[in-house]
Chains A and B, each alone.
Chain A
Amino acid sequence: MSQPDANQIFASLQQFLNERFDLEPTGLTREATLRSVGLDSMMVLDVMLEVEDRLGVKLDDMSLPKDATLGDVANLISRNLEKSSAP
C-alpha cells in the first residue's frame, strides 16, 4: 500500500473529526488549534487510536507541541507513517 501524502492525511483527519465529533470541515484548518475546535487531549488520543486501526500501523511517537494545531496532528501522523515504512 502506498503511503498517503500530507494532503490526503489532512483530508482524512478532517473527515474523521466531522464524522466522530460533528465538527464542521470549514473550521478544521491546519492552523486551527485543537483547543479552539473543542478537542481535548483524550479526544486527540482517540483520533490517534482510530488512525492506528484504520491504517493498521502503530503510532510510536505521540508527542505534540503545546497548544497543538490540526496541522501538528497531521504532521505527527505523517512522521509516524514515514518511520513505519522506513527500511
Chain B
Amino acid sequence: MTNRSSDVLVTGIGVLSPIGLSIAELERSLLNNRSGIGLWQSEALSKPVPAGQIGTDFSDRFSKLELPYLDRCSQIAMLAADQAIDDAGLAGFAECGQRAGLFYGSVAGGVKTEHDWVKQFERDRTRSSRPFTIMASMLNAAPALISIRHKIQGPVVTNSSACSSSGVSIGEGFRAIRDGYLDMALVGGAEAALTPTFIALWGGLRALAEPCVDDVARSCRPFSVDRTGLVLSEGAVFLMLESRQHADRRSARRYGRISGYGIASDALHIGSPDTAGQAAALRAALDYAGLEATQIDYYNAHATATRGGDPVEAAAVRQTFAEHASRMPVSSTKAIHGHLLGAASAMELAVCTLAVRGGFLPATAHLVEADPECELNHVRQQPILDRQVEHAMSLSAGFGGTNVALIVSKEHDSLTKSPTPVEKTS
C-alpha cells in the first residue's frame, strides 16, 4: 500500500491493566499467558467473584489538591494517558491549538465516588456532598482532567456505548485525523468499577463467571465448552494516534498503523447481540481499510465467555470471512485480562498492535475443548511465536447494540519501534 500523509500511526501506548502496568509488561504477560484474574471479595456480597484486578492503590501518585477530583477511574486514566504521551515522545499539546484531541470511552466513570456518596446519603443521612463529588463522579471527569494536565485544546469527547465505548472513541479519533481535522488524538478508555454495587448489578444478569475451583485464574474461558460467564476487570489504556505527516516531521517512532474502522448497530435488542450487526461492523472496517478478508492475519475476539455471546460472534466471523474463517487465527485475550468494559476495545487494540509489531499470535488461555457452536481457528492455550502479522483486527460489541471493528497494520519503515525481546518464562 502507498503511504499517505493522512495515514494514522500509533506512536505511543499507555496501559494500566491486571496483566501489566506498562506496554512492555502487557507484552510479557501475553507471551507468558499470565492471568490477572483473582478472587474479589466484599463483606457486602454473599460470595467472592473472580475479577481482573490491578491491585495497586495509586492515590499516592497525586497531591491532596488533586485527589478530591479523582475517582480511581480518573487516576488510572490519567496515569495511562501520561504513559502513552511519554511513550510517543511528546511533552504536551499546548502548541497544537485545536489540532490535538482526546477521545475517551467509559461505562461507569466515577462510579465508586457516586456509590460512596449514595451510601453517605442513605446510611449517614448526609444531605450535602463535598463540593468536588459531582465533578469526581462525572463520566467525562477523566478526559477533562487529562486535557487540563496536557493542554489538549481540540475536541475532548466522551463516548459511552457499553463494551464498545473505547472502540468508538478510537475509531472517531482515527477518523478525525484521517479526514484532516486533527494532527494528533489521544484515544482510549478506562474503567474502575469493582465495587459491590456494580458487581451485584451485573450479578442480576446471571452472566458473571463462577470462580474456577481448581485455579481462580482460569475462571474466564471464552469459546470453551465449559465457559460459565464473563469476568469483570479494571484498567485504563490509551493510544497516541498521529498523522503520518506529523509523525514523520518529528521522526516519531511508531508501533503500527490504524487502517480500518467499522461501526454498525444491531437495532434489534438492548441486551442481546446480533450476528448481522457484528458482521456489518467487520465488513465496514475491511472496506474502510481497503483490505480483503483473506488479508487479516489475526483476529482478537470480543468473546467475553458468556453462553449466548460467543456463538453469535463466531457466526459473525464465519459470515464475514467465509472460507478464510477456518484459517484465520482467532483468540480472546479476555481469558487472562478479563473484561475491561469501557477500556476493553483499547486494551484489545493494544494487544493487536503488539501482535503486529512483535510478530506473534496471542492465545485464548485455558481453551482445551472449544464449543462446537464457536468453531473457528482458535489459538489455544499458548501463544504462537514467530508469526508475521501484517493486519490484525479486533471487534467489540456493546450492550445497546453498538459494534465496532478496528484494524491495525504493520509499518515496515525504519522508524517502527523494535519489539521487546522475548522473555518467555514457561
B125 at the A/B interface (Cβ < 8 Å)? no
B131 contacts A45, C-beta separation under 8 Å: yes
- Report the Cα distance A66→B65, complex, angstroms: 21
Please determine whether B65 and A42 come into contact, CB atoms closer than 8 angstroms: no
In the complex, the answer to whether B64 meets A42 with C-beta atoms within 8 Å is no
Q: How many residues of A contact B (CB 8 A)?
A: 11
In the bound complex, do residue B63 and residue A43 qualify as a contact, i.e. CB atoms below 8 Å apart? no
**Are the CB atoms of A39 and B65 closer together than 8 Å?**
yes
Report chain B residues within 8 Å CB of A23: 65
Distance in angstroms from A35 CB to nearest chain B CB is 12
Q: Which residues of A contact B (CB under 8 A)?
A: 20-23, 38-39, 42-43, 45-46, 49
Q: CB within 8 A of A21: which of B64, B130, B131?
A: B64
Chain A, Cβ-Cβ closest to B63: A22
Query: Could you name 12 residue pairs across A and B whose Cβ atoms are closer than 8 Å?
Result: A21-B64, A21-B65, A22-B65, A38-B65, A39-B65, A42-B68, A42-B131, A43-B65, A43-B68, A46-B130, A46-B132, A49-B128
What 5 pairs between A and B have smallest CB-CB spacing?
A: A42-B131, A22-B64, A45-B131, A21-B64, A38-B65
Q: Which of B248-292 contact A (CB under 8 A)?
A: none
Q: Which of B65, B68, B132, B135 has the most CB of A within 10 A?
A: B65
Residues of chain A lying within 8 A (CB to CB) of residue B64: 20-22
Size of chain B's interface in residues, with CB distance under 8 A?
A: 9
Output the least CB separation between B109 and chain A (Å).
Answer: 18
A45 proximity list for chain B (CB < 8 A):
131
- Are B130 and A49 within 8 A (Cβ)? yes
Tell me if B128 and A42 are in contact (CB < 8 A). no
Cβ contact within 8 Å between B63 and A49: no
Most chain B beta-carbon contacts within 10 A, residue among A20, A43, A45, A49: A43
Mark each residue of chain B from 99 to 143: 1 if its CB lies under 8 Å from any CB of chain A, else 0.
Answer: 000000000000000000000000000001011100100000000
A20 CB contacts on chain B under 8 angstroms: 64
> How far apart are the CA atoms of A38 and B63 in the complex, in Å?
11
Chain A residue contacts of B130, Cβ below 8 A: 46, 49
- Known contacts A22-B63, A43-B132, then 17 further A-B pairs from the complex at CB < 8 Å, ordered by chain A residue: A20-B64, A21-B64, A21-B65, A22-B64, A38-B65, A39-B65, A42-B131, A42-B132, A42-B135, A43-B68, A43-B131, A45-B131, A46-B68, A46-B131, A49-B128, A49-B130, A49-B131
Min distance, Cβ A48 to any Cβ of chain B, angstroms: 9
**How many angstroms between the C-alpha atoms of A22 and B132 in the bound complex?**
17
Instruction: Give min CB distance, B61 to chain A, whole Å.
Output: 14
Distance in angstroms between the alpha carbons of A23 and B135 in the assembled complex: 22
Chain B residues in 8 Å Cβ range of A46: 68, 130-132
Q: What is the minimal beta-carbon distance from B124 to any residue of chain A, in angstroms?
A: 13
C-alpha spacing A20/B128, complex, angstroms: 18
A38 to B64, CA, bound (A): 10
Residues in B with CB closer than 8 Å to A42 are 68, 131-132, 135
Please name all residues of chain B whose beta carbon is closer than 8 Å to the beta carbon of A21 when the two chains form the complex. 63-65
Residue of A nearest to B129 (CB): A49
B116 → chain A, closest Cβ, in Å? 16
For B63, B68, B131, B132, which residue has the most chain A Cβ atoms within 10 angstroms? B131
A49–B100 CA distance with the chains assembled, in angstroms: 39
B104 to chain A, nearest CB (A): 22
Given the complex of chains A and B, what is the CA–CA distance between A39 and B68 in angstroms?
A: 12
Q: Please, which residues of chain A bring their CB within 8 A of the CB of B68?
A: 42-43, 46
CA distance A54 to B68 in the complex (A): 20
